[in-house]
């Protein structure tokens, strides 16, 4: 039950090295000079006893946890979880910190109220999209708990650093591509979940592109895709049944694009001849679809790295960029109508 643990404590080391625990502590943390021979003795004894400091004791004494938390929403499927995590983990590791992960699913935890991640078990927090609600964010903010947000902006009025990707410019560009190169004029936009910020900005880019090219915005062409395949698929199927006319779909994200292409195929429409389809994200498989998907590359791993970096800066120096927008680039493949042989 209770493991014996390493059981060799700093006092054991101190005794065998004939010094005080204070000195051992100082040697370990390089927090004050220690004479050479003492250093050597301690070094030797530590190695001999295979001493490793008890993390919890240290945390208690220093009031630091040496860990940062990552709060994600419950359903994190999809390609992009891996790379993002990889990015985060790599810089967290470089700084000798631990990474604590949790979904904020209150139903799961014994309903014991509190947040699974917070000041009591982490020194800082990376908040993914809307994995945390505003009252909790306010709460942490007031107690000056370091946080950075990814794929969202902070709630109104709070100065919390955030890392986002360039949504609007890229969306604008890809929709403009549909218009100028492929002469599409009835372009559906499949929006993401209500309130999703990426989706919001993508829609803005979409509308700007329409606007600049003299195409009137038609609210009937903005439909729910929810960033999910089967929903996107159903939406397009419905649209076809209802006789909605369109010649292109900007699918909100690659997942939705996959659903769209499936629905179109099932309905006997050819992509890209009859309908152009473009996505957003450039997921791993997107280049292998037929036709290969034209989309926007999002630097997911980089988002992770930068977020962790910012958080660590914030923890150490109390400062960080207030908003970082990572560049995206559009990737022209076949599903828009280009490169078709």
Partner DNA sequence: CCGGTTACTGAAACCGGTTTCAGAGATTGT
Partner DNA sequence: ACAATCTCTGAAACCGGTTTCAGTAACCGG
Looking at 44, 61, 95, 286, which residue binds DNA (CB under 7 A)? 61
Minimum Å gap between C-beta 332 and its own copies is 18
Tokens for 91, please give them: 């810089």
* Cα gap 321→2, rounded to integer Å: 45
Nearer to DNA, 120 or 242 (CB): 120
Distance CA 253, CA 77 (A): 14
- 24-53: which residues touch DNA (CB under 7 A)? 25-26, 28-29, 31-38, 51, 53
Residue with tokens 């034209």: 294
Residue 116's binding partner, choosing from its own copies, DNA, none, with beta-carbon cut-off 5 to 8 A by kind? its own copies
Contacts (CB under 8 A) with its own copies, residues 66-85 = 67, 74-79, 81-83, 85
Binding residue (CB under 7 A) for DNA from 15, 16, 49, 54: 54
* Integer Cα distance of 277 and 260 in angstroms: 8
Hey, which bits of 104-240 come out as E strands?
Answer: 124-128, 147-150, 162-165, 187-191, 222-224
Segment near its own copies (CB under 8 A), from 169-177, 196-204, 254-262, 303-311?
Answer: 254-262
Question: Which of 5, 30, 242, 341 forms a contact with its own copies (CB under 8 A)?
Answer: 5
Contact 214, 221 (CB under 8 A): no
Residue 197, burial from CB neighbour count under 10 angstroms (0-12, 13-18, 19+): middle
Partner from its own copies, DNA, none contacting 269, C-beta within 5 to 8 A by type? none
Of residues 121-180, those binding its own copies (CB under 8 A): 121, 123, 143-145
Q: At 325, which helix (H) or strand (E)? A: strand 323-326
Nearest to 197 by CA among 323, 68, 102: 323
Tokens standing for residue 174:
């890809």
C-alpha 231/C-alpha 295 separation (Å) is 19
Contact pattern from residue 118 through residue 157 relative to DNA, giving x for each residue in contact according to CB under 7 A and a dash for the rest: ----------------------------------------
Question: CA 273, CA 250: separation in Å to the nearest integer?
Answer: 15
**Min CB(143)–its own copies separation in Å:** 7
Q: Which lies closer to its own copies via its Cβ, residue 164 or residue 233? A: 233
How far apart are alpha carbons 261 and 241 in whole angstroms? 16
Q: What is the largest CA-CA distance in the chain?
A: 88
Please count the residues of this chain forming the interface with its own copies, following the rule CB under 8 A: 68
The answer to whether 23 contacts DNA (rule: CB under 7 A) is yes
Contact predicate 191/225, CB 8 Å: yes
Q: Is 19 in the site for DNA (CB under 7 A)?
A: yes
Determine which residue in the list 43, 62, 273, 340 makes contact with DNA, applying CB under 7 A: 62
- DSSP-derived pairing of the beta strands 323-326 and 329-331: unpaired
Both tokens of residue 131? 């994995």
Please give the residue ranges that form the binding site for its own copies (CB under 8 A).
1-6, 52-57, 59-60, 62-65, 67, 74-79, 81-83, 85-86, 89-90, 93-94, 96, 98-103, 105, 108-110, 112, 114, 116-121, 123, 143-145, 229, 258, 261-262, 283-285, 288-290, 318
Please give the residue ranges that form the binding site for DNA (CB under 7 A).
5, 7, 9-11, 18-23, 25-26, 28-29, 31-38, 51, 53-54, 57-58, 60-63
């Amino acid at each position: 039950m209770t493991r014996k643990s390493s059981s060799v404590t700093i006092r054991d080391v101190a005794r065998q090295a004939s010094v005080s625990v204070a000195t051992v502590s100082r040697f370990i943390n390089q927090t004050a000079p220690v004479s050479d021979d003492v250093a050597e003795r301690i070094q030797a004894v530590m190695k001999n006893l295979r001493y490793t400091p008890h993390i919890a004791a240290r945390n208690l004494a220093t009031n630091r946890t040496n860990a940062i938390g990552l709060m994600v929403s419950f359903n994190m499927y999809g390609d992009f979880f891996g790379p993002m995590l990889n990015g985060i983990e790599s810089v967290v590791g470089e700084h000798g910190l631990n990474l604590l992960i949790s979904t904020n699913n209150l139903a799961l935890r014994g309903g014991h109220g509190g947040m699974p991640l917070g000041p009591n078990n982490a020194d800082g927090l990376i908040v993914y999209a809307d994995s945390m609600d505003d009252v909790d964010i306010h709460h942490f903010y007031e107690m000056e708990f370091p946080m950075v947000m990814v794929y969202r902006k902070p709630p109104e009025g709070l100065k919390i650093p955030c890392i986002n990707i360039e949504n609007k410019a890229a969306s604008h560009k890809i929709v403009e591509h549909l218009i100028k190169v492929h002469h599409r004029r009835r372009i559906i936009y499949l929006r993401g979940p209500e309130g999703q910020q990426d989706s919001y900005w993508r829609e803005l880019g979409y509308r700007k592109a329409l606007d600049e090219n003299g195409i009137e915005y038609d609210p009937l062409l903005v439909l729910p895709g929810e960033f999910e395949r089967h929903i996107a698929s159903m939406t397009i199927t419905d649209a076809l049944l209802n006789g909605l006319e369109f010649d292109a779909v900007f699918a909100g994200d690659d997942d939705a694009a996959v659903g769209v292409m499936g629905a179109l195929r099932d309905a006997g429409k050819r992509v890209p001849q009859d309908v152009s389809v473009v996505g957003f994200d450039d997921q791993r498989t997107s280049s292998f679809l037929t036709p290969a998907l034209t989309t926007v590359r999002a630097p997911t791993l980089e988002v992770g790295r930068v977020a962790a970096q910012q958080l660590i800066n914030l923890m150490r120096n109390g400062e960080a960029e207030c908003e970082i927008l990572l560049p995206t680039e559009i990737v022209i493949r076949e599903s828009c109508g280009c490169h078709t042989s």
